[in-house]
Structure 1
């Protein structure tokens, strides 16, 4: 068990940062004070350095600055005893593809007045499928992130935390999921490929793995208690949500999974 007061560094993209979840403590990063890193740190009494940043790719963790923020690995020091990592989705444009597809499908509805062919051309502007090489690249990048963390903090416990499930058994086409029955399985396949990349990276490096994807399958969009948001054209300041991202309940669930893992 990690001792209270130990240094904890959180790395990752928006599924770790928590855009749209009050309170936002860093607007540029879309970072919430109630994201899973903050919740884990509060639960275990850890000294948190949270450099999660919405839109981050694995390159932004490794060596590429993002906006005015340095590469996230710069935050990892020799005295770090815990590092959590949630990244790779933006390498695949996972959520971005889902958002663009939803937006274009929404625009295609009125376009059907101009003819089905026009509407289908609008919908076809988004590809939901990635080749095996794309998932292998994410796996390799996650392995490199873990290896670089261990170079900087040899004693750190490293935890790979994969992505909450968006499309699950209860997810159906509707207003807040404006994809059709043919498109939704493709999004689910992308999520499966991303989860597999995390599993392979954990097996390769020996890092701990928190499978948020599996734990949240029954809490996907359309379920009785969803842990992620659906699609919305309205921003949070106008009563909308950040589309296809964790809710406060989802962040709490991921934090609980991490704490449980750390106590074993």
Structure 2
């Protein structure tokens, strides 16, 4: 299948990724303290929140994958041998069946990296299954001229049905299929599902126009993200996997906060990252949350 492109990642930004990779600029990111990461093969499955698009240094331009993303940081904290096959734009179908990357180059199923001797598998998926790119684009476009009202909520709840909640429900069996396939491929592995960090503030009405989401749409979209995370948590538990909450530790570090605090960038990133995606600090934060879960 064709892999969806990153939201707000125009050609200029893709060229910037190429430049970053060419120059090989390294970003100083602290490595988490040593933790109980299972020794042996560690396979990271996921989408752009795992891959770390535009965070230096980009080591796979087709998938816009950084060597400073949370799988790399977690693997570096122990003796794991990392197979990071996360890819920007990935859906559950891309994990199971493969697709194409941001440059149109074919990408094999991420699941093919999971072998019988795998000790740890992390999975962060679902955002693109509910149409993250289109939701952000539509909601930002609807409020560019004014922060008043709730044009995004009105659009997605027209007719009395919440389309986004319905998408989350429809994604549940897809995430289930991924986790069951992982378990069949690596019966002895520890499997950890990660949620998504806070994009919008956990309270209040946002920071239009820095993040161009209408005031009344902010609580609605915050609720959608929390519902997605709740689905991932319950689906993980139902399938014998562990859930790592990265939302709670990201509260107060959303895209409305200052450039030195935020984990997720806004429409116009001030740190090296794709719009509405984690920066290096966010990847570090998710690594720390994952390590804490592995230690628990």
**Interval of TM-score (by shorter of Structure 1 and Structure 2):** 0.7 to 0.9
Residues 38-74 of structure 1: per-residue CA shift (max 9 Å, x gap): 0101011211111100111111111242341011101
Distance of 2:232 and 2:175 partners within structure 1: 7
TM-score (norm 2): 0.76
The structural deviation recorded for 1:142 is 1.5
Is 1:15 paired with 2:49?
Answer: yes
Is 1:160 paired with 2:196?
Answer: no
Among residues 78, 81, 85, which one is paired with 2:116 in the alignment? Answer: 78
Deviates more, 1:93-102 or 1:45-54: 93-102
2:87 is aligned to 53
Counterpart mapping for 1:1-264 below 5 A: 1-4=36-39, 6-67=40-101, 68-106=106-144, 108=145, 127=156, 129-168=162-201, 169=203, 172-223=206-257, 225-232=261-268, 241-264=273-296
Deviates more, 1:205-214 or 1:164-173: 164-173
Residues 5-39 of structure 1: per-residue CA shift (max 9 Å, x gap): x1000000001000021111111101011000101
Instruction: Specify whether residues 241 and 174 from structure 1 end up closer, same or farther in structure 2 by C-alpha distance, changes over 3 A only.
Output: farther
5+ long unaligned stretches in structure 2:
1-35
Higher percent of residues as helix: 1
The answer on whether the counterparts of 1:12 and 1:53 sit within 8 Å (CA) in structure 2 is: yes
The structural deviation recorded for 1:221 is 2.0
The structural deviation recorded for 1:131 is 4.8
The structural deviation recorded for 1:149 is 0.5
The answer on whether the counterparts of 1:94 and 1:190 sit within 8 Å (CA) in structure 2 is: no
Distance of 1:240 and 1:78 partners within structure 2: 36
Distance of 1:123 and 1:213 partners within structure 2: 22
Instruction: Specify whether residues 25 and 125 from structure 1 end up closer, same or farther in structure 2 by C-alpha distance, changes over 3 A only.
Output: farther
5+ long unaligned stretches in structure 1:
110-115
Residues 203-237 of structure 1: per-residue CA shift (max 9 Å, x gap): 211211101112212211223521100112x8x9x
1:113 is aligned to none
TM-score (norm 1): 0.85
